[in-house]
Structures are given as structure tokens and as C-alpha cells.
């Protein structure tokens, strides 16, 4: 894990290995993302496919523990919302630059995070980046937020037969409304990349109907945290 051991509670202090402090940090980072996204698009206005609005759990869970030498390349907008999650990480204007940063960082354990959209995932440039990352064991975390899944039709990347070519690319499906689930998977994927084991793809599928902020708020209240503090 990239966070220090002080971020995790002992088993006899609660049901989660993640401390209350970290859980609250995740929640408030999501709130700030939502605030910035609403300000840029207009409150109540439906977000576009490339908006971070509604995808706060995927973005926060993946990016909150990145370090100063790590790089974020994101299709999701606005960028200000992403910078609010983690001002330490660097931002690359395009995937190719982030991929080069990941390749250059294989010796110093730096990681690149690609935050994509379901629309962008169908583009050939992203598929090439995914294949190249697996081929060269690049330390990249691919996070793919998506619209609510109403069918069992596979996404475009499901058809890539990377294993047949001998490449290693774990692909993990997680609830895109659950920031705790995304955080846990992303933490393991980041540690996996820092050890030189290559990229991981996290497929964040949304459930219907659900809101990531309300989902997290309910979780925190269920753990006995002060609901009045969460409303402030």
C-alpha cells in the first residue's frame, strides 16, 4: 500500500482496515470534486460522458494516495476537480506523455494514472496504450469509469487477447459508486506497479440508481460517525 501504516486501524478497532480518518478524507475529497464539477457545468445540469460528475468515487479512490513523482492523465473534466483530490501528483496533458513518464519511472517506482471515459475507451489510441503498457510492464493504473451498465455486453477492451500474447494485465471490475472498494483495489494496484509488476485495469461499473456521495455518506453513518459533521 502507498499509504503509511498509521492510516489503517487494527482489527479490534472496527470493521474496516481503513481508518476513520482516511474514510473521511475520501468522502470530503468526493464532496470537493462534486462542488467543482457543479460549478463548471451548472448545478443540476446533467454531466457529459467526460465529466467527473458522478464518477467521484473512481477518481478519488484511485488518485488520493498518489505521490509527488506520480503522474495523472485524465479525460475526465474539470481538471481543477482532479487537482483538488491530490495536488501532489503531476498532470500530463495527454496519454502519450503520461505513458512516457510511466516508462521512465520504472526505476524510481513512480506510477501513472489514466482516468478515462467509456467513450474514450473505444478509441484506438487508448487500446494501443493499454497493449503497450502490458507488453512493457509499465507502472500504469488504468481506471475506466463508465455509465450505468444495463446489459452484459462486454466493453471494447474485453476483446483484447493480451494473455494470448504472454502479457500480464490484471483487469478488475469494481462498483464505481463505492469509493472504499475503488480505494482498496487501487491501493493494491499501485503497490503492484511500484514493485515493477506492470499495469492494472480497474473497470468501474455503476449501479442503478446510485450516487457515490450518498453511498459513502450512508456507509460512514453506518459506522457510527457523526452525521451532523458529514452535513457541514
Residue 3 lies in a domain: no
Residue 9 lies in a domain: no
Average pLDDT, 10 consecutive residues per value, the chain (232 residues): 35 60 94 91 54 93 94 88 92 71 64 77 70 85 76 50 61 93 96 91 84 93 72 52
Q: Show the 3-state SS of the chain.
A: CCCCHHHECCHHHCCCCECHHHHHHHHHHHHHHHHHHHHHHCCCCCCCCCECCCCHHHHHHHHCCCCCCCEEEECCECHHHHHHHCCCCEECCCHHHHHHHHHHHHHCCCCEEEECCCCHHHCHHHHHHHHHHHHHCCCEEEEEEEEECCCCCCCHHHHCCCHHHCCCCCEEEEECCCHHHHHHHHHHHHHHHHCCCCCEEEEEEECCCCCHHHHHHHHHHHCCCCHHHHHC
Kindly report the CATH number assigned to the domain that includes residue 104.
3.40.50.970
Verdict on whether the full-model pTM lies above 0.95: no
Residue 132 lies in a domain: yes
Q: How many domains does the chain have?
A: 1
Amino acid at each position: 500500500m502507498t499509504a503509511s501504516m498509521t492510516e489503517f486501524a487494527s482489527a479490534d478497532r472496527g470493521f474496516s482496515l481503513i481508518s476513520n480518518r482516511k474514510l473521511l478524507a475520501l468522502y470530503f475529497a468526493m464532496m470537493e470534486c462534486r462542488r467543482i464539477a457543479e460549478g463548471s457545468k451548472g448545478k443540476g445540469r446533467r454531466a457529459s460522458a467526460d465529466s467527473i460528475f458522478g464518477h467521484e468515487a473512481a477518481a478519488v479512490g484511485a488518485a488520493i494516495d498518489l505521490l509527488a513523482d506520480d503522474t495523472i492523465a485524465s479525460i475526465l473534466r474539470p481538471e481543477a476537480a482532479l487537482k483538488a483530490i491530490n495536488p501532489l501528483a503531476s498532470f500530463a496533458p495527454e496519454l502519450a506523455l503520461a505513458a512516457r513518464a510511466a516508462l521512465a519511472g520504472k526505476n524510481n517506482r513512480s506510477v501513472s494514472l489514466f482516468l478515462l471515459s467509456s467513450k474514450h475507451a473505444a478509441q484506438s489510441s487508448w487500446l494501443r496504450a493499454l497493449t503497450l503498457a502490458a507488453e512493457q510492464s509499465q507502472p500504469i493504473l488504468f481506471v475506466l469509469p463508465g455509465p450505468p451498465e444495463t446489459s452484459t455486453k462486454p466493453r471494447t477492451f474485453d476483446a483484447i487477447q493480451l494473455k494470448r500474447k504472454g502479457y500480464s494485465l490484471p483487469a478488475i471490475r469494481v462498483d464505481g459508486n463505492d469509493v472504499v472498494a475503488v480505494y482498496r483495489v487501487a491501493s493494491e494496484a499501485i503497490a503492484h506497479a511500484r514493485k515493477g509488476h506492470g499495469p492494472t485495469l480497474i473497470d468501474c461499473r455503476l449501479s442503478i440508481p446510485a450516487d457515490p456521495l450518498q453511498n459513502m455518506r450512508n456507509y460512514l453513518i453506518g459506522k457510527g460517525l457523526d452525521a451532523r459533521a458529514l452535513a457541514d
